[in-house]
Amino acid sequence: MSTSSNNELWLISAPGESTPLETWDRLQQTTQNLSVNSKFNIPDLKVGTLDQLVGLSDDLAKLDTAAEQTTRKLVQYFSEVLEEERNKLQENLVIGNTRFKRTKLFQR
């Protein structure tokens, strides 16, 4: 980052040399009379590239929709099977320790 006399801050990305230290040294040598530079390290993504992250996000949205549709279908089947004993339906709508109301599962 650099700062000018009117307190502007710039965040730049420089083409990489063989190591980050070489890139930093080249930047320092080139701009030492023009600015005060500070390092701003950005950690690597844990999933690889940004494209992979976007792909995983898209996949997650599709899987979330599929899981919700499956859950709604299961509630519908339970409701049909327990037709005469609908009061037991609520007992079967438990995920972990959380009970769900049938109306919540059918709301959009």
Is residue 101 one of the residues assigned to a domain? yes
Instruction: Tell me the average pLDDT across 85-108.
Output: 69
Tell me what pLDDT residue 108 has. 44
Looking at the 3D structure of the chain, how many domains does it have?
Answer: 2
Is residue 94 one of the residues assigned to a domain? yes
Between 37 and 45, the more confident residue is 37
Same structural domain, 102 and 64: yes
Please determine, for residue 103, whether its predicted confidence score (pLDDT) is greater than 50. yes
Query: Over the stretch 48-86, which tens digit does the pLDDT of each residue have?
Result: 788 888 888 999 999 999 998 998 898 888 888 888 787
Is residue 61 one of the residues assigned to a domain? yes
For residue 80, give its domain range.
Answer: 50-106
The three-state DSSP-derived secondary structure of the chain is CEECCCCCEECCCCCCCCCHHHHHHHHHHHHCCCCCCCCCCCCCCCCCCHHHHHHHHHHHHHHHHHHHHHHHHHHHHHHHHCHHHHHHHHHHCEECCEECCHHHHHCC
Tell me what pLDDT residue 16 has. 80
Same structural domain, 97 and 60: yes
Is residue 42 one of the residues assigned to a domain? no
Q: Express as a percent the part of the chain with pLDDT over 90.
A: 15
